[in-house]
Structure 1
Amino acid sequence: MRDSSQSIQRVKVGLIGLAAVMLLIALASLVIGSATRERPVVAIGAPKPEVVANMGLDNVAGPSSEPLAELGVAPSTNAQAPAVQP
């Protein structure tokens, strides 16, 4: 009979511990969620994210078949003859 009451008590303690952990996770989720919903503070003269993102699009060229030649690491393999000056 004693083993039965001990195992029931252990199950109760385990369930209470599990409920406490779940409660702590829920509270942490609420705190983090409310912090991320706030609008960012815009400082005077600060870069605007949409402008900075569009600046990067101007620098992107089409896909290259010779990335090393563009970097100047290897010579280009294009079979173009150099222009001859008279």
Structure 2
Amino acid sequence: MQRVRVGLTGLAMVAVLIVLASAVFTSANREQAISAIGASNSAVVANMTAIGNTLGEKIKEEPLAELGAAPSTTSTEKTDAAEIARQQEAQQNGEVR
């Protein structure tokens, strides 16, 4: 019985500590942010990096391809299925093109 009482008391103390910590952090979040004179406005800086920004930057659609870590899925050359089929047929027949 003594072990159960000690265990429940410890559990209650942990719950009280969690409630106190939550209250402290909640009150800290409600305070107005302090900004220094000449400092950047955080709302403006956050909007500069948002998708659809007005800076005219191109949105990277394939960042891994730009880094060279993966092949690009877009192709700039025209694909002609008939020409590819002729090339494969020529390779199978042993012809050099």
* TM-score band w.r.t. shorter chain: 0.5 to 0.7
**Structure 1 consecutive aligned stretches of length 4 or more whose deviation exceeds 3 Å:** 62-65
- 1:61 corresponds in structure 2 to 58
Q: Distance in 2 between matches of 1:78 and 1:21?
A: 62
Distance 1:52 1:10, change over 3 A: same
Shift of 1:63: 5.1
Q: Following the alignment from structure 1 to structure 2, what is the Cα–Cα distance between the partners of residues 27 and 12?
A: 23
User: What is the number of equivalent residue pairs in this alignment?
Assistant: 67
Aligned to 2:27: 34
Listed as ranges, the matches of 1:10-25 within 5 Å are: 10-25=3-18
Structure 1: 5+ residue runs without aligned partners? 1-7, 69-76, 80-86
TM-score of the superposed pair, with normalisation by structure 2? 0.53
Deviations 1:29-71 (A, max 9, x none): 1111111111101211110122223334215315557x64xxx
| TM-score, normalised with respect to structure 1 | 0.58
